[in-house]
Each structure stands twice: as C-alpha cells, then as structure tokens.
Amino acid sequence: MLSVLLYMQLHVGAGRAMEDSVYASAALERMVARAATENQRPPPELRSYRSHIETELSLILRDTLGREHTAEVEQLATAATWDRGGRYDLHIVGYRSQSVGVPYSTLSIVRGWTVPSLYGNRLSLGAYFARSGTGDTLIAVHPFASDRDRFYRFTGGDTVATLRVGERSIPIARIRVRPNLQDSTRLGAFDGEIDIDADRGQIIRMRGQFVVARGRPSKREALARAMGVVGVAYVEFVNAEVAGKYWLPAFQRTEFQASFPLLGQTRPIFRLVSSIDGIVVNDSLVATASDSLGPPRVFVSWAKGDSVSRYDQWQHDIGTLSSSVHSDDFADMAPDVWRADGPPRVSLFPNATSRMLRFNRVEGLFTGIAPSLDLRSAAPGLSMGGFVGYAWSEQTARGGAFASYDHGPWTFGMHGERSLASTNDFALPLDDDPGFAALLGSVDDYDYVDRRQAFVSVTRLLGVADEGLATIRFGFADDHGERTRLSQGLFSGPSRFRQNRGVAGGAYWIARADVEFHPNVTGDFVQPGIGARLHYEGAQGDLDWQRVELALSARKYWGPVSFAMHGDGGVVFGEHPPPQTLFELGGNEVLPGYDYKQFAGDRAALFRSFASYRFPIWRRPMHFWRNYFIPGFGPGLALSAQGGWTELSSIGARQAVMQLGDGWSPVPVSQATNGVRATIGAGVTLFSDLVHIGLARAVDRAAHWRFVAGFGATF
C-alpha cells in the first residue's frame, strides 16, 4: 500500500517549461557538451568495482515546527558489485532495526537503495520499488544524455568552490538544470543543480528532485490532487575521486516527503541515506559486457543463515545517518505549497486535524473549517487565518483567529480562540488526538476545560528546529467548567464515558515560557541522543498560580543493547491552585497499572525507562504476503521500570483535589501517592522490541508477579 502511495506522490509534480534557449550562454553549452562526453560512458579502463555500503531506511514524522520524530529505522550493511554492463549486485551482510509500533519493514517499499554510478543516458531515482523480482524505479533522462536538449534547459556554469584532493586543486562548477518536459513523455527528469570537476568534466554532486510530465492524471492521481496531497522525491548524490581517476559514489540520499492536508501539517517522510566506502576498482583488460547507458539491473541477495544478524562491523551507530540530515535541506527546491515565497496563497486546511474534525464526550461530534492566508512575497513571513466549528451535542460554536510573522530564526504571533482544552499532564509528542478511540470504542482518556484566551508570542530557533527553540507567551484567559454530554461513542466500550473532571472558573493574565533542547529526542521515538524541555507559567487574577515543569529524555544504542528513558517532574505554587493546574497520574501511558488519574498533587514526578538486549538471530525481515515484509522475529530480553510520585503539599492543594470531583462527595477522586508508586518488569521482546511478553509487579507494596503482554519494551 505504501509503495503505491509513493508512486502517487511522484506523479503529483511536473516539470516547468522555460524560454526557448537551451543554454544560457555559448560557454555553458561547451561545458555541458564536455560533461556529456565524459559522463555518458565510464572511462574505458573502469571495468567494474566493489564497495561497502551502510544504509539507513527510516520513517519520520515532521511536525509543524520542523522537528523530526523517527518512528522506524532499518540499517543495512551491503557488499555491492557493479560492472559497466549495467549489472548491480547488492549482497546484504548485516541488518538491524529499531521501531516504535511500526508493524512492517520498509523493505515492503523498496528492494534497492543506491545508484551505482552517475554515468549513462538515463538516471534512476536510487530507490528501487518492490514491484518486481529485481525492483523498478522512476527512470529519468540524464541531464548529460545525448538527447538532453529535448528535455532540459541549462543555466549557471560558474565556479563555486575549489576542492583540494592530494596535490590537485579541483575547480568546481555548478550547473542549474531545469526540465522542459512534454506531456507525451513517460520519462522523468531531474530538477536541480550539478557540481562538476571543471577540469575533467566529471560529476561530483547532484542535488535536486525528480519530476514527471503532468499529462492526464489517473483516477488515483486526480483524487490525490483534489484532496491537496503533495509529494516530492528528492535526491542527493555525492561522488568521491577514487585512484585519482574516477568519481564514484561516496554518499547518497533519496527522500520522499508528502503532505496530506486533511491530516494536518505533520509531514511524513521516507528517507534513504547511504554511506559508501571501501571501493576497489577493477581496471584490468579482461573483456566485459558491452556498456549499458540505461539504468542498472539491480539484484538483491542476503547472506546465508543468521550471519546478517550476527554482523558486528558497523561503522555508524543506528540512527545517526538519518539524523545527520534534515528535511529542510531541500527547502529551496520545495513545491509551491511548502514555500515561503511566491504569490499569496490561501489554504482551506488546518495545521491540526482536530480543528476540522474531532469527537469527545463533551462536544460530541465537532466539525469545522480552518482557512488561512500566507502572504509570502507580498509580505514576506506574514500569515493569518481563522478556524471555526460547531459542537453538535454541546450545541456550541468554537473557533479563533491568528496572525504570525516569521523573520529569520524569529517568529512573532498573535492568537485568540475559544477552545476545549485538555487538562492532561505530561503529554506524549504529536499528541493531537481527534478522538477516534472515543468515537469507535467509547474510550476518552482526557478531561477538558472550556477556555477563552488571547495571547502574543515570540519563538526563537536555537540553531535549527532539531537543535532547540525557545518560546515566550503572554496573554489573557478565562476558564469555565464543562460536563460530559454523551454516555458512549458509536460502539460501547468496556465502560461508559466517565464524568468530566471539575475546574475552577475565572479570568486571569498568564505568562508562559518554554525552552527545548533536541526536541526530536523524546525516548518515545527511536532517535538517539539526549533531549530536555523546561516550562514555566504564572497566572494572576481570579485564578493565581505558578507552575514549573522539567522533562528529560534519552535514547542510546550499544550494539545489540538499547536503552531509553523519559522523565517528567513539576511543581505548582499558589495558596489556592486551580484544580486544572494539578498534576494527575494513573492509567494509559502515565503510570499504567493504576486507575485513571488515581493520583494527583501539586508536586509530581513520572519516569519510564527500559533496556533491552536482542539476540543475534532471526533479525532479517520476513516475507509475509506479496510485497509485504514484517520485521524479523528478533527475540530479545528486556528490563523496564516505571513509576510516579505526587504530593499534596498544602491545604489549598488538598481543596483543589476535592474540586476535581463533584465538590460534594467527602471522598476525593484522586489522592497523593504516599511515596513512589513503581512497577518493574522483565521478559522477552519480539520484532525488534515491538511487542513484549513477561512478568511485572509493583515494588511500592507487597504484590505478586503478574503476566503481561503488550506493545513496546516497557512492561
């Protein structure tokens, strides 16, 4: 299914026609002609070569701020052999993976992952899709092909840098290549820039995107366009000089980015990154097959038995190749809908699905619209929009408006809305639930407050989005309590909807500040590293409080050993803190094994951690059905610990807990933990820590071991 989606993405783009002149100057025409001569065929003495390739194939979610969250990464070590007849053998000698809840292998999408050379009349994408025994791919006319003038226009040709290799200084000339495709062609084209060795005419680097002629769309493509689906296939191919004679692959990257407006502005990414070294050239005079000027014929094989699982000669830690690049690297080549320049653009889709469609026990079904306007070149950096909808069971309208101005690393904003805000604490990344569980299973593990608010904000990137950012907000808010209006969703679940918890009503001025370091490292995704977040808020008015939160996370791999942790802590200050500001723990991901929000306090801490060791057997992905591969059985052992603590440190905090209920019952709906409530577990993990089976028990009290099974490595 996903491979079909990728093909839909590739056929959304189209080449751009230019002026009639093929070359911007006569000098550029001569430069391109020489490059075509040098790159159409490999040098006569280059018969074949062998190389070692390490590749990562990863599935990534990019959020609205540009932070990337990696849900799955598979790492391959490959012994590759290419000959000038066009045969390209990829022999997989090592394999390992990490995943958080992804029940399939990316090898369901592709069967090959690198381009063996940049010679020839035709150029392949670098991702050979799982549609045949040897894989197929999008085939583009090479910019230096003999028939290039029919398909391309050329500009540039200036020297942009000088590269020193040994005793030689290599002037690098950059040529800008733009497609001029006709609707009748089925071939793709390359749209981007090519750096060449100005002395020898050899390709050093290609960076850009693959496009196809728009033509008459199929029904599937027409539907994708009608829904606003946008997809782009980017490539970056980097060569290195070998033996002082040949420019052969050293680094390659193929990346598919897409956006689905109905699902908000979170952008899914499929990334393939390869590091290539250990090249051994065969330049003997032994006869070989005649030259192939077309795409390579790719053949993939696996080492026998469990040797791929026992492979231990990795040159890169898992996850580091994928995280060494970022989706913004291609921002200057982005499609119009993602660009910050161009004519003003109107969008009818929100940055979060829940602004258009959601379901919960308070509102029932909510439907809305969320138009926005990006002024782009008319007023660079300025955007504005609104959102409005109706809650059908509550019979209430909610909505708001915003304006923002981006200026370099700074973003300034104004925002006003009436919202149904969640009072849950320590939320997981990308936690924007439109309520599918509530609608289909009558499970609504949130509590809500009706909030009117207006604020101004300033956000500063600390380098790039994955390195850090800081945000300050100041504004006015007014909270009102809400009640449950539905007893169940479409289908009854294990129980009916619970009552919405109480809040204190009132108006207040509020200031908030957030600082995040490495926000893409959460411990809940597979990205290795260390991340942190510090949050402060202070309010004054009918409601008064101050609240401080600190979150720390880490993930690290040592060969077959994986370790991850996430810790949260917070303190609420105030003589009479509103109940909606208290920390509540219990149930779901925040202290599972206890009742829903069983514990509450104005002081709280929550931690989750696990360590696993995977045996060097059965890691290879398994063919399930047609082109569908599931992760290898990959058995392992895991230990996990999780726990939480809350304290009610004042009379005001204890009174606030009483307000969480109906206000009349003498028994509070939540209580302090009276110490740390913790659970430890151990057992077996399968499918690269995707599921676990084992035993767990509470350690804060006398308890028996109990059998547990579930997803993830945390018991």
Residue 559 has a CB neighbour count (10 Å cut-off) of 13
CB 337 within 8 A of CB 345: yes
Using 50, 70 and 90 to split pLDDT, how confident is the model at 703?
A: confident
Per the domain annotation, does 338 fall within a domain?
no
Q: Is 128 a residue whose pLDDT tops 90? A: no
> What does the pLDDT read at residue 11?
46
CB 518 within 8 A of CB 539: no
More confident position, 663 or 578? 578
Alpha-helical regions (H) of 405-497:
436-441
Q: Is 3 a residue whose pLDDT tops 50? A: no
> What does the pLDDT read at residue 687?
87
Instruction: Kindly give the pairing relationship between strand 297-302 and strand 87-99.
Output: parallel
Mean of the per-residue pLDDT values of the chain: 88
Q: Per-residue pLDDT averaged across 72-85, rounded?
A: 94
Per the domain annotation, does 271 fall within a domain?
yes
Same domain, residue pair 414 and 549? yes
Which of 38-47, 217-226, 511-520 is modeled with the greatest confidence? 511-520
Same domain, residue pair 535 and 561? yes
CB 180 within 8 A of CB 153: yes
Rounded CA separation 530/552 (Å) = 8
Rounded CA separation 712/715 (Å) = 8
> What does the pLDDT read at residue 131?
59
Rounded CA separation 104/110 (Å) = 12
> What does the pLDDT read at residue 289?
57
Q: Is 2 a residue whose pLDDT tops 50? A: no
Structure token digits, residue 148? 């290039």
Same domain, residue pair 484 and 610? yes
Rounded CA separation 81/636 (Å) = 33
Element (H, E) at 420: strand 410-422
Same domain, residue pair 367 and 321? no
> What does the pLDDT read at residue 285?
57
Exposed, middle or buried, 652 (CB in 10 Å: 0-12/13-18/19+)?
A: middle
Give the model confidence (pLDDT) of 283-309 as tens digits.
Answer: 775 545 567 777 888 999 999 878 999
Give the model confidence (pLDDT) of 205-215 as tens digits.
Answer: 999 999 887 66
Structure token digits, residue 315? 């040159």
Is the four-CA dihedral 213, 214, 215, 218 of positive or negative sign? positive
Same domain, residue pair 363 and 422? yes
> What does the pLDDT read at residue 132?
47
Q: What is the Cα gyration radius of the chain?
A: 28
Q: Is 187 a residue whose pLDDT tops 90? A: no
CB 234 within 8 A of CB 191: no
Same domain, residue pair 309 and 421? no
Structure token digits, residue 433? 């639930």
By residue range, what is the domain housing residue 615? 345-711
Structure token digits, residue 201? 């005419």
> What does the pLDDT read at residue 337?
86
> What does the pLDDT read at residue 286?
55
Q: Per-residue pLDDT averaged across 608-626, rounded?
A: 89
Q: Distance between alpha carbon 293 and the CA centroid of its chain, in Å?
A: 36
Q: Give the CATH number, domain containing residue 677.
A: 2.40.160
Exposed, middle or buried, 661 (CB in 10 Å: 0-12/13-18/19+)?
A: middle
Residue 417 phi, psi (nearest 5)? -165, 160
Using 50, 70 and 90 to split pLDDT, how confident is the model at 133?
A: very low
Q: What percentage of the chain exceeds 90 in pLDDT?
A: 61
Same domain, residue pair 233 and 349? no
Q: Distance between alpha carbon 181 and the CA centroid of its chain, in Å?
A: 32
CB 362 within 8 A of CB 485: yes
Q: Is 184 a residue whose pLDDT tops 80? A: no
Residue 497 has a CB neighbour count (10 Å cut-off) of 19
Same domain, residue pair 294 and 407? no
Using 50, 70 and 90 to split pLDDT, how confident is the model at 352?
A: confident
Residue that is written with structure tokens 């005649």 in the block: 290
- The per-residue DSSP string of 605-652 comes to EEEEEEEEEE-SSS-S-EEEETTEEE-----EEEEEEEEEEEE--SHH
Same domain, residue pair 288 and 316? yes
Q: Is 633 a residue whose pLDDT tops 80? A: yes
Per the domain annotation, does 54 fall within a domain?
yes
Same domain, residue pair 409 and 502? yes
CB 631 within 8 A of CB 97: yes
Q: What's the number of CA atoms in the CB half-sphere (13 Å) around residue 423?
A: 25
Rounded CA separation 660/663 (Å) = 7
Instruction: Kindly give the pairing relationship between strand 122-124 and strand 110-112.
Output: unpaired
CB 124 within 8 A of CB 152: no
> What does the pLDDT read at residue 41?
85
Q: What percentage of the chain exceeds 70 in pLDDT?
A: 92
E strand residue ranges, 489-586: 506-517, 529-541, 545-558, 561-573, 583-585
> What does the pLDDT read at residue 55?
97
Same domain, residue pair 381 and 248? no
Using 50, 70 and 90 to split pLDDT, how confident is the model at 631?
A: confident
Residue ending a domain, among 332, 353, 373, is 332
Give the model confidence (pLDDT) of 448-499 as tens digits.
Answer: 999 999 999 999 999 888 899 999 999 999 999 999 999 999 887 777 899 9
> What does the pLDDT read at residue 431?
66
Per the domain annotation, does 337 fall within a domain?
no
> What does the pLDDT read at residue 663?
61
Structural domain total, the chain: 2
Same domain, residue pair 391 and 448? yes
Rounded CA separation 285/608 (Å) = 62
Residue ending a domain, among 332, 366, 393, is 332
228: left (phi over 0), alpha (psi -120 to 50) or beta: left
Per the domain annotation, does 560 fall within a domain?
yes
Residue ending a domain, among 332, 361, 396, is 332
Per the domain annotation, does 614 fall within a domain?
yes
Per the domain annotation, does 80 fall within a domain?
yes
Using 50, 70 and 90 to split pLDDT, how confident is the model at 622?
A: confident
pTM: 0.89
